[in-house]
Structure 1
């Protein structure tokens, strides 16, 4: 139990750094950077905790992005700042870079070495995992707004 707690806390610490970095790139006001760091840490820590409980990364990413969406919705109302200020920067550390990189390496290898079933398998597995994680992050951020603002007219 202590190993999981230590893993989650370290994961939260290291994921807060890129969340703040991307928030700075997006010109988030300085006093809101702490909220971006907290949201990024909570999201990535929650995803890691779910993955330690044998939840697949795609579903864990969906749950973590939904959590960030609700937190961002609350903070946006509280501080009168648009929701993406908090939520987009918090989700950035969960972008599946290693899976996307492995997919592109497989594409290059298929081009250079020719077709092989093993390379095609690596390409399809990592490509689909990347696609599903990105879709989970997108839908997870959208779910809270759809649920909360569902009955309101567009205009």
Structure 2
């Protein structure tokens, strides 16, 4: 019971801190005030769902893809219900999942290579974090695009 309670507290904490950047990004791009609650809910749900997937051992790239695809489907529903373009909800909601720490570590590694010279360890750090950043960003974009492709496709897939 204690393990479940701890996971629940971590889940709620993750959701609480994830809505803040989602709403901040939405406010920067002048999302209508009535729609900010949906951006907050989307950011909290998406990031905390990814947190759960990570907790159960799914790699961060796949967890990000699954969470952003779920946000894509939820964004399609909200956009049809409220007659607002889908990116209003979806883009702001996945902003908390941008891999800033991996990109920062890769860039710091590049600066270190430039200042102190090449070493295998530094190159490994740069490649690992740079590729992880690339794959997470790709997962975000494909995850948001897949629901629209599947639902709005005008011709049969096969």
TM class, shorter-chain normalised?
over 0.9
How much is the aligned-residue C-alpha RMSD, in angstroms? Answer: 0.7
Give TM-score, length-normalised by structure 1.
0.97
- 1:36 is matched with 39
- 1:81 is matched with 84
Q: Distance in 2 between matches of 1:16 and 1:91?
A: 10
Deviation track 1:116-146 (CA, whole Å, cap 9, x = no partner) reads 0000000000000000000000000001000
Counterpart selection for 2:8 from 5, 9, 20: 5
Per the TM alignment, residue 5 of structure 1 is displaced from its structure 2 partner at its CA by: 1.2
Task: Give the total of aligned pairs.
Answer: 152
- 1:139 is matched with 142
1:50 equivalent to 2:53? Answer: yes
Counterpart selection for 1:68 from 68, 71, 74: 71
SS of corresponding position for 1:27? coil
Q: Distance in 1 between matches of 2:54 and 2:69?
A: 16
- 1:18 is matched with 21
Per the TM alignment, residue 151 of structure 1 is displaced from its structure 2 partner at its CA by: 2.2
Q: Distance in 1 between matches of 2:28 and 2:108?
A: 28
- 1:150 is matched with 153
Structure 1 segments (4+ residues) deviating >3 Å = none
Give TM-score, length-normalised by structure 2.
0.95
Per the TM alignment, residue 101 of structure 1 is displaced from its structure 2 partner at its CA by: 0.2
